[in-house]
């Protein structure tokens, strides 16, 4: 399954959001609630105003004739892309722990921790994906490569990526979650986006 794993924080989020909002062929699938229907209906919108931590669904508009049409896309549809985005790194405050409806264990330790985010796509796993979606996926990979620094685990050929502000945090020693991968050496040898190699 094609996947792009990366580190980003709130400062980096605007880079990613601006690029996705400007991608004419990609739209966000968002819940829409009306007074007549308290259950959320899924709706396609070409842009969103901001990112929060959590899961996002995107779709390639090659499968839709109208951007505002409610999509009927199964999770395995090749036009559906997933973005799991984690921008937070600071621990919950006492007030947040007492009031937030859902807490994530990463930020309950009292220490800063930056988790990896992911773009995920089924590609040709369940059915052959249209070439225009493959072309867009390659453009997404090229965008990440232009704006982020690769963090390649020792002995591997693939990389996590780190956007500039997130990389500075990682290079300062901030803890991270990379699904069990040790990126310590990769972070140390990564070129700082402002100051060069450290």
| Beta pairing partners, 80 | 59
pLDDT tens, residue by residue, 101-152: 999 999 998 899 999 999 999 887 888 888 888 999 999 999 999 999 999 9
pTM of the model: 0.88
Other beta carbons less than 10 A from residue 99's beta carbon: 9
pLDDT tens, residue by residue, 22-42: 999 999 988 877 777 777 777
Model pLDDT, residue 69: 52
- The angle that helices 164-171 and 10-22 make with each other, rounded to 10 degrees, is 160
Strands (E), the chain: 3-7, 26-34, 37-45, 54-60, 80-85, 113-115, 117-121, 149-151, 160-162, 175-177, 191-192, 196-197
Specify whether the CB–CB gap between 12 and 143 falls below 8 A.
no
């Amino acid at each position: 399954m094609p996947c792009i794993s990366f580190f980003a924080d709130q400062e980096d989020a605007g880079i990613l959001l601006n690029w996705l909002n400007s991608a004419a062929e990609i739209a966000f699938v968002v819940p829409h609630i009306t007074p007549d229907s308290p259950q959320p209906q899924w709706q396609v919108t070409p842009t969103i105003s901001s990112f929060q931590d959590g899961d996002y669904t995107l779709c390639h508009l090659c499968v839709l004739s109208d951007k505002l049409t409610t999509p009927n896309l199964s999770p395995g549809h090749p036009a559906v892309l997933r973005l799991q985005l984690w921008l937070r790194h600071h621990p919950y405050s006492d007030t947040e722990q007492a009031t937030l409806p859902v807490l994530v264990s990463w930020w309950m330790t009292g220490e800063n921790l930056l988790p990896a985010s992911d773009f995920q796509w089924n590609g040709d796993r369940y059915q052959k994906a249209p070439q225009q979606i493959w072309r867009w996926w390659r453009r997404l990979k090229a965008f990440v490569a232009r704006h982020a620094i690769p963090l390649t685990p020792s002995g591997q050929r693939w990389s996590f990526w780190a956007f500039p502000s997130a990389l500075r945090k990682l290079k300062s020693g901030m803890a991270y979650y990379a699904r069990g991968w040790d990126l310590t050496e990769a972070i140390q040898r990564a070129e700082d986006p402002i100051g060069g190699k450290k």
